[in-house]
Structure 1
Amino acid sequence: MFHSPQMVKKRVPEWLNSSLWSSTPSPSLDDDRVQPYTSKPTATTTITSSSSTSDYEPPSMVDPPIPVPPPKPTREDKPPPQPQSTDSLPNHEDKNNTTPSPEDISRQAQLLVELSRKTINLRDLRRIASQGIPDGAGIRSTVWKLLLGYLPSDRGLWSSELTKKRSQYKHFKDELLMNPSEITRKMDNCTNCDTDESKGQSKGLLSRSEITHGEHPLSLGQSSVWNQFFQDTEIIEQIDRDVKRTHPDLHFFSGDSSDAKSNQDALKNILIVFAKLNPGIRYVQGMNEILAPLFYVFKTDPNEEDAASAEADTFFCFVELLSGFRDHFCQQLDNSVVGIRSTITKLSQLLKEHDEELWRHLEITTKVNPQFYAFRWITLLLTQEFNFADSLHIWDTLLSDPEGPQETLLRVCCAMLILIRRRLLAGDFTSNLKLLQNYPPTNIRHLLYVAHKLRVQSSG
């Protein structure tokens, strides 16, 4: 049943009607960006545009909750944020970086105090980290490992736990990344090492007559190592293609340097091992985009020992992070209560709760199905909507939620809609879809402030 405009307006909280949530129309958005890839054909279109600026200021008529609202911009003609190169990303020295704000300095000090405790108070750590983790000093790497449960709260257990996990990952690689020739050679060595050692005949190679049916490359048996190898080849080729397309604008992931190639190899190893250990999901396009922030943060840790073990640490943290979203990557569950369509419906309901006018305009008047834009937002955890450094800041908040990232993720997505509500309310299907699939750069602290405000409004 439709409501009159007056009735709808009453459903919108006063703080959402403020002009502070609006933005001026931007110049035309670029259409020539790299096409993102998802696991479903419904999520199409392009990566975020950098052609417009955010002019939002924190509301002054409300008490500032956590996160702390950002400072007001000093100039209205401030140039738009540009995609960052590797040299200007966190943990890379950049002489042009602005001086850290007093808030960042204070937060870094608070985090260092928490990390120095014999037993980490995770509640306090989450509270501080949710406001954003200052770059540098390897703080983000350690905090993320704690937030994801990879490191125990007892500092005394860190060394033994890391040693155990890293050894376990090496075992996974040794067992799962071997090709069939290596497997049969290893089987032959184990079989013949005792019987033929005295004769000196064991050289690790099977003669033609000794190759069993199950180990022959032409064997069609389900247990054949070659049959399994051929089944895995297609997935491995897909992983290789996707990894090579991961953040092509960042030298850390892309280019001909030995470091970039080594980083790509690490991503491929992690995804292949994950696919083989999780046959129910295996590999789904887009997983590489979720993996990239974790590996970057751990690999750029100033601690050389931790940086050298970034691949192993990233694997286990990736598994932990994906455990809360694994149903989104299982096509058989798409229409279930835990599938991706159900999660998108929750976002729609959240928007209706906080801004029914905007919800009605998008889904009823202009018929912009939230799946057209929210599928990518949710499945890729907003990694394609913002530049890399801003994505890391958003992840600080997502990972700090004690109940898991999903609820915070949905509130951030809802806040993204609210921040551009005036442009959406003035738009039709085509312009709104283009805007939502090319989300304009914005003040990330303000975005997270609004997302937190949504939580306060819901709980109140």
Structure 2
Amino acid sequence: MKGNSGEEVSKRESSGGSSSSLNLDWRFNQTLRNVQGLLKGRSFPGKVLLTRKSEPAIESSVAERSPDIERSHSETDIGPNESIDVHEGKVQSSGNVASDAKVKKANPSSAKSDNADAEPQKSVSGARATDSARIAKFKKELSAQTVVLDSLRQLAWSGVPPYMRPTVWRLLLGYAPPNSDRRDAVLTRKRLEYVECVARYYDIPDTERSDDEINMLRQIGVDCPRTVPDVSFFQQPEVQKSLERILYTWAIRHPASGYVQGINDLATPFLLVFLSEHLEGSMENWRLSDLLPQKISDVEADCYWCLSKLLDGMHDHYTFAQPGIQRLVFKFKELVRRIDEPVSRHIEEQGLEFLQFAFRWFNCLLIREVPFHLVTRLWDTYIAEGDALPDFLVYICTSLLLTWSEKLQKLDFQEMVMFLQRLPTGKWTDQELEMVLSRAYMWHTMFESSPSHLAR
């Protein structure tokens, strides 16, 4: 794509072009540079999408209109151990002194500088300032009399400080009201309503249940011990009992879908986040029995209502035949074909259907595909996406799959099935997850305004 000249930009502005379109172009180019810098020296599927040139005239125009927009690092300052915050259009460094030093060493001009040792320290200080600035923004939004959800959503997309996560999730999911004066009263009422539902539907003898309800409760009882089996906390009987109450109550109150295997996974991030308000230290050392019954009930209620709010936006994912998931898998297949045709062709030639591996990805929202310690960070983005989550999930899955583009093209059918059922993400850190989200955001930005790219 050719860059527009200053004259063309001037004509566009004089003909009524809005500044929002310029901001979108600037933001795209900013994101593109961020990802390119992070990917230096790496092979990358769909690299044709990384060839869009920057538009100097547009950037200059936007810079004049938005003097508050600054880049915290140049393109060459982004090292392999740094993460980026693409949602806000800024580079947010999380690299350490050692990684920064390597970048400076690789830059001849920096090596000649008399302040070579001071630069890494300056970069680290900048990163800390950025983190402090983000926390300050969260505090400002949350301390308002009425929280502006759009602003909070934009902040949360790039990650929420752990101790603020319970409050932010309640607000963005619509469980807690934005008005602080009403918040405590609403939460108290909703928690009491959950207690009444448990008493009415769960705490009753089997003689008062239908055969279908008995079978559903039995299936939930089987699935709870299988939930996140590699995390010892979820193997505690008290935790499994809490999950059982939440899931059964939800299923009874949502008869169109009832309980579907996989929903048990979706309750776990909520349980982890809301328990973090009451239990300290590592999750491995948590004991649910240390909490008073009232606290456990409040946590369960918050999990129940937030799970309900999340699934309200994707209800047909869990109704009969799960048509919502099948629709997303089809879009996933088409997007992979458009971005990385060689991988798409190889998968097709080997006779592997996307449903064979992607159904679980969408059914469990990738909880089983990434290490559990990264799930809450991933869900910050999910919850920030709101009703747009199902569509954006297609881009996240595409980005995840194409992380191993070259490897997949060397595997036969059986090898691909085994590989995709157990992705090598066990040692992933925030850096790898941020890369997946960054690519997804970039591709979504490109294709969202060009739907014809996904047309046959």
Report the TM-score, using the length of structure 2 for normalisation: 0.66
Tell whether the 8 Å contact from 1:107 to 1:133 is kept in structure 2 after alignment: no
1:125 matched to 2:152? The reply is yes
TM-superposed CA distance for 1:229, in Å, is 4.0
Determine the C-alpha separation between the residues in 2 that align with 1:145 and 1:105.
23
Tell whether the 8 Å contact from 1:129 to 1:396 is kept in structure 2 after alignment: yes
Structure 1 residues 69 and 434 mapped into 2: Cα distance closer, same or farther (>3 Å)? farther
* Alignment partner, residue 423 of structure 1: 407
Give CA-to-partner distance per residue, 1:71-97, whole Å, 9 cap, x none: 56867xxxxxxxxxxxxxxxxxxxxxx
TM-superposed CA distance for 1:237, in Å, is 1.4
* Alignment partner, residue 4 of structure 2: none
Tell whether the 8 Å contact from 1:67 to 1:445 is kept in structure 2 after alignment: no
Structure 1 residues 250 and 104 mapped into 2: Cα distance closer, same or farther (>3 Å)? farther
Determine the C-alpha separation between the residues in 2 that align with 1:444 and 1:168.
37
TM-superposed CA distance for 1:241, in Å, is 1.4
Tell whether the 8 Å contact from 1:132 to 1:393 is kept in structure 2 after alignment: yes
Structure 1 residues 333 and 449 mapped into 2: Cα distance closer, same or farther (>3 Å)? closer
Tell whether the 8 Å contact from 1:146 to 1:152 is kept in structure 2 after alignment: yes
* Alignment partner, residue 310 of structure 1: 299
Number of residue pairs matched?
337
TM-superposed CA distance for 1:116, in Å, is 0.9
* Alignment partner, residue 186 of structure 1: none
TM-superposed CA distance for 1:271, in Å, is 1.0
TM-superposed CA distance for 1:435, in Å, is 2.1
Tell whether the 8 Å contact from 2:251 to 2:257 is kept in structure 1 after alignment: yes
Structure 1 residues 149 and 64 mapped into 2: Cα distance closer, same or farther (>3 Å)? closer
SS state of the match for residue 252, structure 1?
A: helix
1:434 matched to 2:410? The reply is no
- Identity fraction in percent: 27
1:20 matched to 2:20? The reply is no
Determine the C-alpha separation between the residues in 1 that align with 2:80 and 2:340.
18
Determine the C-alpha separation between the residues in 1 that align with 2:274 and 2:421.
30
Give CA-to-partner distance per residue, 1:130-181, whole Å, 9 cap, x none: 101122x2x1111111111101111111011101101111111121123248
TM-superposed CA distance for 1:331, in Å, is 2.6
Q: Residues 259-270 of structure 1: matches in 2 within 5 Å?
A: 260-270=236-246
Q: Which has the higher contact order (CA 8 A, sep 6+)?
A: 1
TM-superposed CA distance for 1:407, in Å, is 1.7
Unmatched 5+ stretches in structure 1: 1-12, 24-54, 76-98, 182-216, 218-224, 255-259
Select between 64-73 and 414-423 the one with higher mean Cα deviation.
64-73
Query: Structure 1 residue aligned with 2:330, among 345, 369, 380?
Result: 345
TM-superposed CA distance for 1:106, in Å, is 3.4
AA in 1 matched with 2:214: T
AA in 1 matched with 2:277: D
Determine the C-alpha separation between the residues in 2 that align with 1:295 and 1:67.
32
Q: Residues 41-52 of structure 1: matches in 2 within 5 Å?
A: none
SS state of the match for residue 232, structure 2?
A: coil
1:111 matched to 2:138? The reply is yes
Give CA-to-partner distance per residue, 1:23-72, whole Å, 9 cap, x none: 9xxxxxxxxxxxxxxxxxxxxxxxxxxxxxxx977899xx9964857656
Q: Residues 356-371 of structure 1: matches in 2 within 5 Å?
A: 356-362=341-347, 364-371=348-355
AA in 2 matched with 1:263: V
* Alignment partner, residue 8 of structure 2: none
Determine the C-alpha separation between the residues in 2 that align with 1:67 and 1:346.
29
SS state of the match for residue 145, structure 2?
A: coil
Structure 1 residues 22 and 458 mapped into 2: Cα distance closer, same or farther (>3 Å)? closer
Structure 1 residues 133 and 68 mapped into 2: Cα distance closer, same or farther (>3 Å)? farther
Structure 1 residues 278 and 394 mapped into 2: Cα distance closer, same or farther (>3 Å)? same
Tell whether the 8 Å contact from 2:83 to 2:434 is kept in structure 1 after alignment: no
Q: Residues 165-314 of structure 1: matches in 2 within 5 Å?
A: 165-180=190-205, 225=208, 228-254=209-235, 260-302=236-278, 309-314=298-303
What's the C-alpha RMSD, in Å, of the aligned pairs?
Answer: 3.3
Determine the C-alpha separation between the residues in 1 that align with 2:126 and 2:160.
12
Tell whether the 8 Å contact from 2:87 to 2:158 is kept in structure 1 after alignment: no
Tell whether the 8 Å contact from 2:166 to 2:274 is kept in structure 1 after alignment: yes
Structure 1 residues 459 and 274 mapped into 2: Cα distance closer, same or farther (>3 Å)? closer
Determine the C-alpha separation between the residues in 1 that align with 2:92 and 2:373.
18
Report the TM-score, using the length of structure 1 for normalisation: 0.66
Determine the C-alpha separation between the residues in 2 that align with 1:165 and 1:430.
49
Tell whether the 8 Å contact from 1:133 to 1:140 is kept in structure 2 after alignment: yes
Determine the C-alpha separation between the residues in 2 that align with 1:116 and 1:435.
46
Give CA-to-partner distance per residue, 1:230-254, whole Å, 9 cap, x none: 4322211111111112223323211
Give CA-to-partner distance per residue, 1:371-405, whole Å, 9 cap, x none: 11110110100110111121111111111014332
AA in 1 matched with 2:410: A
Give CA-to-partner distance per residue, 1:178-209, whole Å, 9 cap, x none: 3248xxxxxxxxxxxxxxxxxxxxxxxxxxxx
Q: Residues 82-97 of structure 1: matches in 2 within 5 Å?
A: none
Tell whether the 8 Å contact from 1:287 to 1:380 is kept in structure 2 after alignment: yes
TM-superposed CA distance for 1:279, in Å, is 2.0
* Alignment partner, residue 317 of structure 2: 328
* Alignment partner, residue 446 of structure 1: 435
Tell whether the 8 Å contact from 1:150 to 1:317 is kept in structure 2 after alignment: yes
SS state of the match for residue 233, structure 2?
A: coil
1:393 matched to 2:393? The reply is no
Structure 1 residues 402 and 180 mapped into 2: Cα distance closer, same or farther (>3 Å)? closer
TM-superposed CA distance for 1:326, in Å, is 2.3
Structure 1 residues 67 and 412 mapped into 2: Cα distance closer, same or farther (>3 Å)? farther
Tell whether the 8 Å contact from 1:340 to 1:375 is kept in structure 2 after alignment: yes
1:161 matched to 2:186? The reply is yes
Give CA-to-partner distance per residue, 1:338-366, whole Å, 9 cap, x none: x321110011112223222322222x322
Determine the C-alpha separation between the residues in 2 that align with 1:310 and 1:130.
24
Determine the C-alpha separation between the residues in 2 that align with 1:286 and 1:64.
29
Structure 1 residues 130 and 428 mapped into 2: Cα distance closer, same or farther (>3 Å)? same
TM-superposed CA distance for 1:450, in Å, is 1.1
Tell whether the 8 Å contact from 1:20 to 1:57 is kept in structure 2 after alignment: no
